[in-house]
């Protein structure tokens, strides 16, 4: 009985600890890329592509919702149907707690991409019965340049990827 409990702790707790450490390392690398590397790169190409500021004005609509101006880009303009409500509502909820903050939106997107990677691992294990395949796919997703740049710009892609896989 003691041997079984010891083996259980070693196998089960050891794997969970290893996964936790891996997620922590990935999170640290992603934060370094998004918070340090991308702003330095964007400084060398000024005006070329907005890779370290809000994307597509989702934040403007979210702030107007919080301020009671309705679903519009600017308070003096009419309501808009140009942007879907999902990400706007997520940003409005986030900004009602943190204020308008690119950092908070970036952290939200990083967390969503980590959750998406977990869903990728789960689906790959269920479909193909191979853990390595899921882990490889998750790492490719997490460091795919379009996803990383989307996270740095607080883009909608992280939320869309999460919900498209989760549902």
- pLDDT one-digit tens code per residue, 6-16: 554 455 556 67
Tens digits of per-residue pLDDT, 91-129?
A: 999 999 999 998 899 999 999 999 999 899 889 988 998
H or E element at residue 114: helix 102-128
Please tell me the predicted confidence (pLDDT) of residue 82: 85
Collect contacts of 48-56 with beta carbons under 8 A, ≥24 apart.
Answer: 50/153, 51/149, 51/152, 51/153, 52/102, 52/152, 52/153, 53/102, 53/153, 54/102, 54/105, 54/153, 54/154, 55/150, 55/153, 55/154, 55/155, 55/156, 56/83, 56/155, 56/156
Angle between helices 157-166 and 102-128 (to 10 degrees): 30
């Amino acid at each position: 009985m003691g041997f079984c409990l010891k083996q259980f702790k070693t196998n089960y707790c050891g794997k969970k600890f290893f996964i936790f450490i891996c997620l922590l390392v990935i999170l640290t690398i992603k934060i370094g890329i998004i918070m340090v590397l991308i702003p330095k790169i964007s400084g060398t190409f000024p005006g070329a592509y907005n890779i370290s500021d809000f994307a597509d004005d989702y934040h403007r609509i979210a702030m107007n919702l919080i301020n009671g101006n309705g679903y519009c880009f600017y308070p003096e303009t009419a309501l808009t149907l140009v942007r879907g409500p999902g990400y706007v509502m997520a940003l409005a909820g986030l900004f009602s707690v943190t204020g308008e903050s690119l950092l908070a939106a970036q952290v939200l997107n990083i967390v969503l991409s980590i959750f998406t990677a977990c869903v990728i691992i789960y689906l790959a294990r269920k479909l193909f019965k191979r853990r390595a395949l899921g882990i490889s796919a998750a790492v490719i997703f997490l460091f795919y340049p379009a996803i990383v740049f989307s996270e740095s710009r607080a883009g909608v892609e992280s939320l869309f990827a999460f919900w498209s896989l989760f549902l």
